[in-house]
Amino acid sequence: MANFFIDRPIFAWVLAILLCLTGALAILSLPVEQYPDLAPPNVRITANYPGASAQTLENTVTQVIEQNMTGLDNLMYMSSQSSATGQATITLSFTAGTDPDEAVQQVQNQLQSAMRKLPQAVQNQGVTVRKTGDTNILTLAFVSTDGSMDKQDIADYVASNIQDPLSRVNGVGDIDAYGSQYSMRIWLDPAKLNSYQMTTKDVTDAISSQNAQIAVGQLGGTPSVDKQALNATINSQSLLQTPEQFRNITLRVNQDGSEVTLGDVATVEMGAEKYDYLSRYNRQPASGLGIKLASGANEMATAERVINRLNELAQFFPHGLEYKVAYETTSFVKASITDVVKTLLEAILLVFLVMYLFLQNFRATLIPTIAVPVVLMGTFAVLYACGYSINTLTMFAMVLAIGLLVDDAIVVVENVERIMSEEGLSPREATRKSMGQIQGALVGIAMVLSAVFVPMAFFGGTTGAIYRQFSITIVAAMVLSVLVAMILTPALCATLLKPVKPGESHERKGFFGWFNRTFNRSASRYETFVGKILHRSLRWMLIYVVLLGGMVFLFLHLPTSFLPLEDRGMFTTSVQLPSGSTQQQTLKVVQKAEDYFLNNEKQNVESVFATVGSGPGGNGQNVARMFVRLKDWDQRDPQTGTSFAIIERATKAFNQINEARVIASSPPAISGLGSSAGFDMELEDHAGKGHDALMAARDTLLELAGKNPLLTRVRHNGLDDSPQLQVDIDQRKAQALGVSH
């Protein structure tokens, strides 16, 4: 095969250029991410039951839906949360590789059979099914820089004009809104209702009948009479818009012609649909959106599309309204990939310099250098064909492969130069003879190196998902380097190398002369040292055994981890007060944490976005979550300004807050696998001992874990039971008094 390309160097160049072009096109199409897609596909079911307690929600909604989630293909496990705010969330996790769209379809089919068993209020609210995880890839804060909009104005604008367009962006799985739009609030006065002998049902019936859009029809619609001269659409009443219109709703007309209106028994005003959330950005009133990634979507591409769409919408923002990226996971990924690309270019330069240092011939050095970009571009094409991505592991594999892939080309070049020097053949003939000698060796080298890395591609589980792309990348580079060494390198040797007379050698002067003399002296000393070792082989074997034992000792005692934690430029802080605490009590603790970050850590912290009412373990008045964004890495001290150092100092400061548990934690090493760094455990009640026994076991487990010096920031993921008031109704008295409920 080599002889064919030696005689046709242009054809070899054409193949190399085609390979480079294919790789360049692949680079433009390959997705970019930090690690391969490892998070299992998740499908989340959300149902709302206004006014229901967590226990009622669990009994009437959560369990009903869970019992119908049977027979789902590739389902690993499902988890659920029932909160006191009336929201139930069931998350179903499927095995890696499952088609998210197929998983959603299965869940929707099973959910249909459960819908008729759910309370009517839940059916009216609707049950949503989305292919999304639980962690945000973007958290957006919206603030009024000039104070012209209050927090409710901001929240209403965001909910009405921004949330829906962003939810339709490709790759967005779900959006959490930290605020709500305007709604007509009707505050009934029980005493006035009683004085008019009316009930809340009378009010709701009147509102439903008089606040309705009625389709009346047409005047002169077909078929019409012959003399009909006009065709027009007839409009009647529409939905009410203003508080005054609602106040004028007639509840009852008395026989004397007097009437009772809604304004007589209630206070009607514009307000928030929900008051569950209170958001702040750097101590300013704000509203926010949490963008979640759809299962199977690319994080980098989705975040870029969201920001682009948001910039389009920003042109129409009211004066003074701005958006801030309070939390995002893509800057670190971009920085990581940029650093790896920089390392790749540095490696190529170093390889060139080292080869030139030893070959001391620019033409000879140029030949294996040309092979590097050709092989790398071809490797990108292989990644695209396999459906892989540009990530830290594939790029690291290329960095590692650079030192290996030039070996084949160097072997060819050195052997050609040796034959020309010893036998005086022309570059073409020397190349032809050289390839006949080493062609089998080149194939053998590729097979041996591939055999080292191929087994990694067959690892199972998450480890296999991580290292499979790493393995395939190196193997692809090795195979391509051999092909290039047998196709392009011989053609280059035959055309670029200059003839050498037999036995001709030139003593180098200058830097190369000094380097050769120094290297020869070092080689001579090494030979002498090896000779002494061979004369005292037993002593050196004992030393080798000691070194081997030390290596085993260090291997057994070095800490292990799945993936190293890194400074991602941001972290989260959770706040949880005892059950029953109010929103204002939680806000006071949040303000203390805000003051710490924005005052004590102002040289490191860029922004703090806090949402009272939303926490990693659920929603409620006693929880809050803070998204802390740090300044760029080059603006922070490399020792004291890392996220780990900041979290450590914050932990000590927050331990002084006695009224709440405030925990700062790093994001997980892999987005989508948990809400923070560390690991999660699930405690299950297989014996059916009940909720109280389960909570007691949880507290015991937390107490034992807290005593372990290897564990820090141990906490439970959920919320404690909220206080409840039990109302017992005397049914006989209620019926005797004509009271219904």
- Please check whether residues 552 and 577 belong to one and the same domain: no
411 and 442 Cβ atoms separated by less than 8 Å: yes
- Which of helix, strand or coil describes residue 257? coil
Would the pLDDT of 568 be above 80? yes
Give me the pLDDT at residue 287, please.
Answer: 92
Q: Is residue 685 in a domain?
A: yes
Count other Cβ atoms within 10 Å, centred on residue 263.
16
- For residue 627, pLDDT beyond 90: yes
Q: Does residue 288 belong to any structural domain of this protein?
A: no
Q: What is the pLDDT of residue 466?
A: 78
Amino acid of residue 539:
R
Task: For residue range 54-94, list pLDDT tens digits in order.
Answer: 888 888 999 999 988 888 888 988 888 888 778 888 989 88
Q: How far apart are CA 94 and CA 39, in angstroms?
A: 10
Please determine, for residue 322, whether its predicted confidence score (pLDDT) is greater than 90.
yes
CATH number at residue 613: 3.30.70.1430
**pLDDT tier, 506 (very low <50, low <70, confident <90, very high otherwise):** low
Could you tell me which of 350, 351, 360 has the C-alpha nearest to residue 512?
A: 360
Q: Is 60 exceeded by the pLDDT of residue 505? A: no
* Domain tally, the chain: 5
- Quick one: average pLDDT of 259-267? 91
> Are 397 and 491 in a shared domain?
yes
Greater model confidence, 556 or 718? 556
First to last CA, the chain: 90
Q: What is the pLDDT of residue 20?
A: 93
- Please report where in the chains the tokens 């020397």 appear, as a residue: 430
As a whole number of angstroms, the distance between CA 157 and CA 581 comes to 30
If asked whether residues 13 and 99 sit together in one domain, one would say no
**Hey, which residues does 328 pair with through a beta bridge?**
138
Cα angle for residues 454, 456, 458 (degrees, 5° grid): 90
The pLDDT of residue 383 is 92
Q: Which whole-number Å values give the CA distances from 398 to 142, 405, 426, 464, 554, in the listed order?
A: 42, 10, 35, 18, 29
Residue 194 pLDDT > 80? yes
d(CA 407, CA 485): 9
Is residue 617 one of the residues assigned to a domain? yes
What's residue 22's pLDDT? 94
CATH at 469: 1.20.1640.10
The whole-number pLDDT of residue 399 equals 85
| Range scoring the smallest mean pLDDT among 184-198, 420-434, 625-639 | 420-434
pLDDT of 513 reads 84
Rounding to the nearest 10 degrees, give the CA dihedral for residues 684, 688, 693, 698.
0
pLDDT, one tens digit per residue, over 455-491 is: 888 887 777 777 888 999 999 998 998 999 888 888 9
Q: What is the pLDDT of residue 672?
A: 61
483 and 629 belong to one structural domain: no
Give yes or no for residue 689 having a pLDDT over 60.
yes
pLDDT of residue 323: 93
Mean pLDDT of 126-146: 87
Range of the domain at 530: 518-560
Residue 504 has pLDDT above 60, yes or no: no
**Is 486 contained in some domain?**
yes
**Average pLDDT estimate for 689-698:** 82
Structure tokens that stand for 222 in this block: 């077909």
Q: Answer yes or no: do 574 and 697 share one domain.
A: yes
Q: How much of the chain, in percent, has pLDDT values that exceed 70?
A: 97
SS3 category, 117: coil
- Whether 221 maps to a domain, the answer reads no
Residue 172 domain-assigned?
no
Q: Is 723 within the bounds of a domain? A: no
Mean pLDDT over the full length of the chain: 86
Residues 544, 460 share a domain: no
Residues 407 and 547 in one domain: no
pLDDT of residue 307: 94
pLDDT tens column, 3-13 = 788 888 899 89
- The pLDDT score that the predictor gives to residue 598 is 93
Q: Which letter, b or e, does each residue of 72-94 get, where b requires 16 or more Cβ atoms within 10 Å of its Cβ? A: bebbeebebbbbbbbbbbbbbbb
516's CB contacts (< 8 A; 6+ apart) are 508
- Per DSSP, 455 falls in state G
Buried b (16+ CB within 10 A) or exposed e, 386-397: eebbbbbbbbbb
pLDDT of residue 503: 58
Q: Tell me the two tokens of residue 131.
A: 């292919």
* Eight-state DSSP code of residue 672: B
- The 8-class DSSP code of residue 458 comes to G
Same domain, 529 and 675: no
Interior CA angle at 94 toward 332 and 699, to 5°?
Answer: 80
Q: What is the pLDDT of residue 591?
A: 93
pLDDT for residue 365 is more than 80: yes
Task: Give pLDDT, residue 553.
Answer: 93
Pair (51, 123) in one structural domain: yes
Q: What is the average per-residue pLDDT within 424-437?
A: 86
360 and 460 share a domain? yes
CATH, residue 246: 3.30.2090.10
Is the bond preceding residue 564 a cis peptide, omega within 30 degrees? no
Among 462-466, 493-497, 526-530, which stretch is predicted with the lowest mean pLDDT? 462-466
C-alpha triplet 609, 612, 613: angle, nearest 5°? 135
Same domain for 605 and 698, yes or no, is yes
Give mean pLDDT, residues 247-267.
89
How far is Cα of residue 316 from the mean position of the Cα atoms in its chain?
A: 29
**129 contacts 110 by C-beta, under 8 angstroms:** no
Summarize pLDDT for 635-687 with one digit per residue, the tens: 998 888 899 999 999 999 998 988 888 989 888 777 666 666 667 777 888 77
Backbone angles phi, psi at 605, to 5 degrees: -95, 130
Is 609 within the bounds of a domain?
yes
**In the structure encoding, which two tokens stand for residue 466, read together?**
């991580």
Q: Are residues 491 and 376 in the same domain?
A: yes
Res 139: pLDDT: 92
